[in-house]
Chain A
């Protein structure tokens, strides 16, 4: 297989007739000002999506995103400009604009060389062409049929199939040139079920950094359809959710969105450098119960949140955030790492060439503990068992966070009994994990649909956890 970087060069530089010497001249232009670091980020992205609705292939769309972003950093200051023209004059112009953040200095000159090839967590393929169009629409129809086959109460099925092919190249003033080829596929199913006057929804889906075959193998796509119908049917029977503080058992997998909101964002380097996070200055403190270890791991093969390198060219890594209850570290990009006197953890990510990189999560999850999930449920006299969630949000300064259950049940006398309606759960990030009294042995990662938003930038991420018992968490139902 060819190197990622050679593929990236072929896609991004060669068609524009750009040589490495051209990149050097852009970097030299940046370095003639008093800056600490600068980079050029080239990106060529293609996204294709298909939607089935009412049993027909309703629409399809193809998107091209291509351009280069030039960033110059001086101390805590950043200058940024970008262009959708991959041509030397446009790049030089962007460099001139970006470097204006600093004052003119002495002329310096840089020689770039290929960064040592790093990890291969996914194949350097174009997933858009990994199935024919006919095969893609057939897949959508099979998923639709599978959902409708489950139950006559299924009235509406929407299936969407998305593939993205992103090729990126980063040239940095430290002299490195690094590239990545990033496939991503995702299938989502949403259904409406109807019984008498009552209607409810359910959703399922999954994906990976892989070819479409990922969705077809092991009939995964059909499984997502069954998940969606199952969730909707459960919700048809759901009663009002309870309101107030109670014991909550979170299922394994996607409920790990808890960790993303409660812990993850607050441990991103930028907020901690600036002291705006509720976790700032708390390294070494106990922020979780013993037995809780949380990591952010960008190196899992094929995972939605994984990357061979981050968007600054740094290889991703497995970063321990909390180890046996003790806060160990933050997630860093290069700028914040430099300002905090540590090394980047490979978490510098950006939505596109037109956005600035920031410390962002990859796959964030808690390592398994010793309890059987059934044992955890049995331990609860009265509480909530939440197995599926929509999104969440956090105020990193006060530490308060929410995440909204979309499938939940009551636990009564150690048994899962009746389903209850979705409700928002609210808690305090630095405090919540001290309430974890049992960690299951059933670590699961989510199915691969997560999207994280920060300062207007959206990125694919992963979450995961084993079944967890949280002794007290506020549940926002209506039943007092």
Chain B
């Protein structure tokens, strides 16, 4: 799928399929319908201990349709795009709609909100790399990790993934839009050993264009450096202390934040940030915003999962919650307007502060630097937070030794209020951009 002209032809074919789906739904009696079709091809390969381990050629097609009979709805999806499966899917969706209840909030997003212009967001940069070259790159990456230090004793390998695909969405308002995207990544995971104890760590790089990826050697070296840094990790005693979430794990705190202001969590009253609009959620210095049309952004799209135009907005300004994250269904349930977030947030960022990680450690003086978390101990209803962690103990602003097998616990609502600083050491790889977070106090459980 490397050729742009071929891509445009494919896009036309998928658009055709979407309009056929919508027509079939209408024929089967639906009063409204929406459909999405996607097609993606790729290559995933892993090099381990200097030799190729797996080569996977991926080719995924998918189609989803939702039909409305008045305000009852039914949905179906299929990975099989043969005409028979497509007809069966529409039929199954229509049949389901006979049994779902009329729901006054259900239905397409309002017609006037549909995206009118679809700017090119520069998301499509297929990587014309053959299998041999990809293996070579994987070897370079893994070799850099394995040769860094004698204590790197084993490897889970280096993996290269490259995908290119198309997504087309349309609905019976007459909206149809599609765009091609690409996504490439290179990752490496290695194992260090000291005495009997083994430690694993990894690093990765990801981007829309291969030219935006971090160099293979650098990915390998960082993976190895991280695995080495964990050697000699020990458990610490139970205590209360300030905690720094290193930028790559701080992203999960922002994910918990967005999870709490999602429409579905709000109308179900299952969020610890219920009724917090225009209230202080963070300290004054915090600004959090979404930029869904960022060029080359990993979360970018010109329209959301319902065809609604996406737009940049503040979620938090001066610490105050300024917007929820809504699709049209949850918006109607809450008596509000959709924020163009059907399908989630796109390119979320918190404004960086002035301190780098070293300066943040100095500011903390004594406490815990968390570099990895384990488990899912976040209660979104109450905000109660308790997760496994590993990282480093810090005294006088300097890293002392690695720690593991501890938990960190608190309550997200309080943790947000107790955010003392955000670093300038931004994690930029994914859909969420943030520096490291310094939080005033948490409970650490250990020995």
Q: Which residues of A contact B (CB under 8 A)?
A: 48, 50, 53, 56-67, 76-85, 94, 97-98, 100-101, 133-134, 136-137, 155-156, 158, 192, 194, 199-201, 241, 243-245, 274-276, 278, 354, 356, 390-398, 400-404, 421-428, 474-480
Nearest Cβ on chain B to A349's Cβ, whole angstroms: 17
Nearest Cβ on chain B to A59's Cβ, whole angstroms: 6
Q: Is the CB of B270 within 8 A of A354?
A: no
26 pairs across A/B with beta carbons < 8 Å? A56-B100, A56-B102, A58-B106, A59-B75, A60-B96, A61-B74, A61-B93, A62-B76, A62-B92, A65-B80, A66-B80, A76-B53, A84-B80, A192-B381, A201-B379, A241-B386, A274-B154, A276-B198, A276-B200, A278-B198, A354-B79, A398-B199, A426-B375, A476-B377, A476-B407, A476-B409
Tally B residues with Cβ within 8 Å of A.
80
Nearest Cβ on chain A to B111's Cβ, whole angstroms: 22
Q: Is the CB of A60 within 8 A of B75?
A: yes
Nearest Cβ on chain A to B29's Cβ, whole angstroms: 16
Contacts of A155 on B, CB cut-off 8 Å?
269
Q: Which residues of B contact A (CB under 8 A)?
A: 48, 51-61, 73-82, 85, 88-89, 92-93, 95-103, 106, 131, 154, 156, 191, 197-200, 230, 233, 235, 238-240, 268-270, 274, 374-377, 379, 381-382, 384, 386-388, 390, 404-411, 443-447
Nearest Cβ on chain B to A166's Cβ, whole angstroms: 13
Closest Cβ neighbor of A52 among chain B residues:
B101
Closest Cβ neighbor of A158 among chain B residues:
B268
Point out the residue from A79, A199, A392, A476 that lies within 8 Å of B269, measured CB to CB.
A199
Contacts of A83 on B, CB cut-off 8 Å?
59
Nearest Cβ on chain A to B156's Cβ, whole angstroms: 6
Q: Is the CB of B388 within 8 A of A476?
A: yes
Interface centre among B103, B386, B447 (most CB of A within 10 A): B386
Q: Is the CB of B445 within 8 A of A477?
A: yes
Give the complex CA separation of A53 and B61 in angstroms. 31
Point out the residue from B81, B235, B238, B388 that lies within 8 Å of A424, measured CB to CB.
B388
Contact A404/B51 with A244-B238, A480-B239 known, Cβ cut-off 8 Å = no
Point out the residue from A48, A57, A245, A422 that lies within 8 Å of B379, measured CB to CB.
A422
Give the complex CA separation of A478 and B411 in angstroms. 9
Q: Is the CB of B405 within 8 A of A400?
A: yes
Q: Is the CB of B409 within 8 A of A478?
A: yes
* A-B contacts besides A94-B57, A475-B445, 17 pairs, CB < 8 Å: A59-B75, A77-B55, A80-B54, A81-B59, A97-B57, A133-B98, A136-B99, A158-B268, A200-B382, A201-B270, A276-B154, A276-B156, A421-B379, A425-B407, A428-B405, A476-B386, A476-B388
Closest Cβ neighbor of B101 among chain A residues:
A56
Q: Is the CB of B269 within 8 A of A65?
A: no
Point out the residue from A61, A101, A475 that lies within 8 Å of B55, measured CB to CB.
A101
Q: Is the CB of A243 within 8 A of B445?
A: yes
Q: Is the CB of B268 within 8 A of A53?
A: yes
Give the complex CA separation of A369 and B415 in angstroms. 43
Q: Is the CB of A244 within 8 A of B75?
A: no
Contacts of B77 on A, CB cut-off 8 Å?
61-64
Q: Is the CB of A134 within 8 A of B99?
A: yes
Q: Is the CB of B382 within 8 A of A423?
A: no
Contact A67/B80 with A402-B377, A424-B388, A480-B238 known, Cβ cut-off 8 Å = yes
Q: Is the CB of B76 within 8 A of A61?
A: yes
Q: Is the CB of B407 within 8 A of A61?
A: no
Contacts of B377 on A, CB cut-off 8 Å?
390, 402, 404, 422-424, 476
Contacts of A278 on B, CB cut-off 8 Å?
198
* A-B CB pair tally, cutoff 8 Å: 259
Contact A397/B446 with A60-B75, A200-B382 known, Cβ cut-off 8 Å = no
Closest Cβ neighbor of B86 among chain A residues:
A64
Closest Cβ neighbor of A421 among chain B residues:
B384
Q: Is the CB of A427 within 8 A of B446?
A: no
Q: Is the CB of B405 within 8 A of A391?
A: no
Nearest Cβ on chain A to B407's Cβ, whole angstroms: 3
Q: Is the CB of B99 within 8 A of A199?
A: no
Contact A402/B387 with A62-B75, A78-B53, A192-B381 known, Cβ cut-off 8 Å = yes
Q: Is the CB of A403 within 8 A of B92?
A: no
Point out the residue from B57, B375, B409 that lies within 8 Å of A392, measured CB to CB.
B375
Contacts of A76 on B, CB cut-off 8 Å?
48, 51, 53
Point out the residue from A50, A100, A275 that lies within 8 Å of B154, measured CB to CB.
A275
Point out the residue from A50, A60, A201 that lies within 8 Å of B381, measured CB to CB.
A201
Contacts of B89 on A, CB cut-off 8 Å?
62, 64
Contact A400/B239 with A58-B100, A58-B101 known, Cβ cut-off 8 Å = no
Contacts of A77 on B, CB cut-off 8 Å?
51-55
Contact A243/B238 with A192-B268, A393-B374, A398-B198 known, Cβ cut-off 8 Å = yes
Point out the residue from B55, B96, B154, B390 that lies within 8 Å of A62, measured CB to CB.
B96
Point out the residue from A84, A94, A426 that lies within 8 Å of B81, measured CB to CB.
A84
Q: Is the CB of B198 within 8 A of A397?
A: yes
Q: Is the CB of B156 within 8 A of A422?
A: no
Contacts of A476 on B, CB cut-off 8 Å?
377, 386-388, 407-409, 443, 445
Closest Cβ neighbor of A406 among chain B residues:
B379
Contacts of B78 on A, CB cut-off 8 Å?
63-66
Give the complex CA separation of A134 and B101 in angstroms. 12
Interface centre among A84, A404, A426, A480 (most CB of B within 10 A): A426
Contact A100/B131 with A60-B100, A66-B79, A422-B379 known, Cβ cut-off 8 Å = yes
Contacts of A401 on B, CB cut-off 8 Å?
374, 388
Give the complex CA separation of A404 and B378 in angstroms. 9
Q: Is the CB of B240 within 8 A of A480?
A: yes
Q: Is the CB of B375 within 8 A of A393?
A: yes
Nearest Cβ on chain B to A209's Cβ, whole angstroms: 23
Q: Is the CB of B443 within 8 A of A474?
A: no
Q: Is the CB of B55 within 8 A of A79?
A: yes
Contact A81/B56 with A199-B381, A201-B379, A424-B407 known, Cβ cut-off 8 Å = yes
Contacts of B58 on A, CB cut-off 8 Å?
82, 354
Contacts of B154 on A, CB cut-off 8 Å?
274-276
Contact A245/B446 with A62-B96, A64-B79, A80-B57 known, Cβ cut-off 8 Å = yes
